[in-house]
Amino acid sequence: MGKRCKVSWLCVLCVVLALVSVATIVTLWTIALTGGKGGNVTAAWDRYRLPGVLVPEFYNITLWPRLTPNPNSSLYIFTGWSTVQFECLESTDLILIHSNKLNYTKMEDGHSIRLIAQGDVSAPIIKSTWLQLQTQYLVIQLKSRLTPGQKYQLYAKFTGELADDLAGFYRSEYEEDGVRKIVATSQMHPTNARKTFPCFDEPAMKAVFHITLIHPPGTIALSNGMEMDHAAITVDGQVLLQTKFEATKKMSTYLLAIIVSDYAHLNTTQGNIQIRIWARRKVIEQGQGNYALNVTGPILDFFQSYYNISYPLRKSDQIALPDFYFGAMENWGLITYRETNLLYDPDNSSNSNKETTATIIAHELAHMWFGNLVTLRWWNEVWLNEGFASYVSYLGADYAEPDWNVKDLIVLDDVHKVFAVDALTSSHPLTSKEDSIFLPGQILEQFDTISYSKGAAVLRMMSDFLSESVFKQGLSSYLRYFSYGNTVGNDLWKHLQMAVKDNNVSLPHQVDTIMNHWVHQMGFPVVTIDTSTGKISQKHFLLDPELNVTVQSPYNYQWVIPVRWMKDGNVREDIWWLSKKEDLNVDMRTGPSWVLANINVTGYYRVNYDLGNWERLFSQLSTDHQVIPLINRAQLVDDSFNLARAQLLPTAVALRTTTYLSKETEYMPWQSALNNLHYFDLMLDRTEVYEPMQEYIRKQVTPLFLYFRNMTSNWTKVPEKHTDQYNQVNALRTACRTGLTECQKLTRTWFQQWMDDPEHNPIHPNLRSATYCSAVAAGGEAEWNFTWSQFKMATVASEASKLMSALACSTSMQLLDRYLKYTLNPTMIRKQDATSIITAVASNRAGQSLAWDFVRDNWEYMFTEYGVGSFSFASLISGVTARFSTSEELQQLTDFVKNHETAGFGSAALAVDQALERTEANIKWVQLNKQEVLHWFSSQTGN
């Protein structure tokens, strides 16, 4: 027994020593991975955020895109070499620099990169380098540590593919005079600079960029800075051009732009700023860049005055690209656009195209200060950047085109649009916690309707309650203080609070307290006014009130609400603030008078009233609707329909807001009504409600159709007012769609005249979208094939876009199926256009199930082959599920989600959640309302 005992103790001792050794190794490894700070043992290269111990100062980058395929691989490639100088802030033996899909040429020591120290010191020797694919890093481990305060340089030579994926440095193609041409262009935003050269690819890592481009003779090279030096060079016996650009200002990597093309340009100067519009040679010759050139100078002048800061650069280049994922991108000094958004042809583009060009140019130029000069530190506050540019784009366009009254249209195009998304429990706050957004897909997901449109709406509300002059003063102070730096949202609130104090503005709370209620909790309130008691209350507005809100709110879903209101047509001067769940305003106790709140919809909330006040408002609408402000006529329609969907108002009451429309000729109330009746269309156009509903809408729109027929002398003249031109389109489209014989005969005649003489299109550009759709829907294969051939031959991007949409209007399943299949063939349909075609087919009553089946059958292929740069998967999901209103469709959607949950949905993850929630709400709505709606429409049409 004694011997056994000795052996056992020996065993125990060995085990203890082994455990101690393992623990020591683990501890040392943990220290190595975490820099000795303990805690999270994830290796630095497995984290998606840079450690922040190295800060770039400048980059020297040379890139050489090949505009012909490599003979060995048949791929289009680019080669490059770059140096980045950075400063070490904290001692480290690890360098992480972003790199994605780049192949490196080995240096003399066999590593992918060379490290040099500035000054008389020598740099640490590189121990090892490797690519960490998941987190998109080039990892450099050193044998000794970098010294704090010391500056170093990393040099690399690399090759990348000039793919057609619309991301990083990529390839765009077009045909001109039968010749296929290649453009090498870029989209670095948000995380694709790393696909072009190794860089510290985070918005706070600002640096100066020195760019050189090597390109073929006969092409021009563009970048953020002005071209400084052109030289002919010879490389391997090949004669090339080398263009060097002046150094950029200190800026984020996502704002870099590099383009090689054989484009032509127009130019002018505004003060000391050179303005150039670049596009395909043919469209420049045709004058399609003239409008952009003429409008850019005034908009730049407006923003210089609005911000009270001069434009920071010497030049403003804007370029139209055949293939582009976003609508436009605010690269500093070289803004890139989809062709449809920058080019305007008076002979073929509509007034809507013209407004789009003006507002998008204004949006991008607004960023030159707000976003570029001063940049948000991280992507969790994208809303402040995009929401701000969206709001002031209306102001810039209004300055350039004062006759349009474009400022009012923000209510339809942004406020009402985002209400629909923000009333879901699957919505999200404007801002997120910084550490919750780190994956490239999550970053891209931030660029949604909430960021752009809700951001614009709450900033417009703030500008209103502060006054525009105080808002501008705080803004200018913020931009001056943080120029060439990075900020967080609270920095803006502080500068606005300073302006409030300087101007003795009376507010119920400090700016940050008021705004945090709107920024840090999702959704918005419905303010309910009881005019019999004067009691006013607020409540989180949800389209489906039965759903539980699982997202916690720091403010318990209460808001600090500025209420502008009027009584019997008299606007009260002072804002009344609702800061509590419930309050009393005795002035709103009205008796026989009516009350209307949220004048001009400057506040981001809906309003409900007691039924007595609704009745008095209806009475006012039917006797003299113009006493109620124009924007509020649109608001009454939109609020009532959505209150009914949320079961806060009977659906029949909401429908009554449309009865006065037979006397209404203004665009905003009509558009609001059509937007809301479109929901009824989506929910009920496959039921017995469809016919009486069509008959009612036809009855209401006929007077409007006749009004415009008379105004335009039987459709031969163009209405003078911008919004009248829009409403003329509404009259034509709605009358034709609901079966008004005169309208359908008119569009068929116009379209047939064009088919008989394809060289001369008799249809006015404003009316083409409506006419093409009506004619293709009523026609057969001949009309569809004619439209397709015109689409393929179109040289004006906006005209091509109208034809592309019209092709989805066919009622033939065979033709729609053919069209859907074309979207997977980039020679037939550009990748950037595939999403909008699929959703257009889905919005067609005849094409809904076809488009849904197509997406289900091809999802995996589209998701993996096309990738995020080409497809907007979020809008695809929203578009194909918009009509879902049956339990069968909900089951199909649930199965679809289950089948693909392993691969995930990338930037469409939120859209999938919203589609599920919307479908459940739609099912309930149809069950609750179908019979009531059928009865109401039937009673209105005498059936």
Catalytic positions = 364
Radius of gyration of the chain measured on its C-alpha atoms: 30
For residues 695 and 941, the answer to whether their CB atoms sit within 8 Å is yes
Token pair 């197509």 is found at 854
Residue 910 structure tokens: 């939120």
Among 758, 824, 810, 748, which residue's Cα sits nearest to residue 786? 758
| DSSP annotation of 199 | B
For residues 302 and 368, the answer to whether their CB atoms sit within 8 Å is no
Q: Collapsing DSSP states into helix, strand and coil, what is residue 64? A: strand
Residue 96 structure tokens: 């992480």
Helix, strand, coil percentages (3-state) for the chain, rounded to 5, are 50, 20, 30
Among 271, 278, 360, which residue's Cα sits nearest to residue 318? 278
Residue 321 structure tokens: 């690209």
DSSP 795-815: -SHHHHHHHHHHHTT---HHH
For residues 679 and 641, the answer to whether their CB atoms sit within 8 Å is yes
Number of H helices, E strands in the chain: 30, 31
| Segment (H or E) for 749 | helix 741-756
For residues 634 and 669, the answer to whether their CB atoms sit within 8 Å is yes
617: alpha, beta or left? (left if phi > 0; alpha if psi -120 to 50):
alpha
Separation of alpha carbons 814 and 828, rounded Å: 17
Among 67, 312, 301, which residue's Cα sits nearest to residue 183? 67
Other CB atoms closer than 10 Å to residue 742's CB: what's the count?
A: 12
Buried b (16+ CB within 10 A) or exposed e, 20-56: eeeeeeeeeeeeebeeeeeeeeeebbeebebeebbbb
Is the preceding peptide bond at 190 cis, omega within 30 degrees of 0?
yes
Separation of alpha carbons 250 and 332, rounded Å: 10
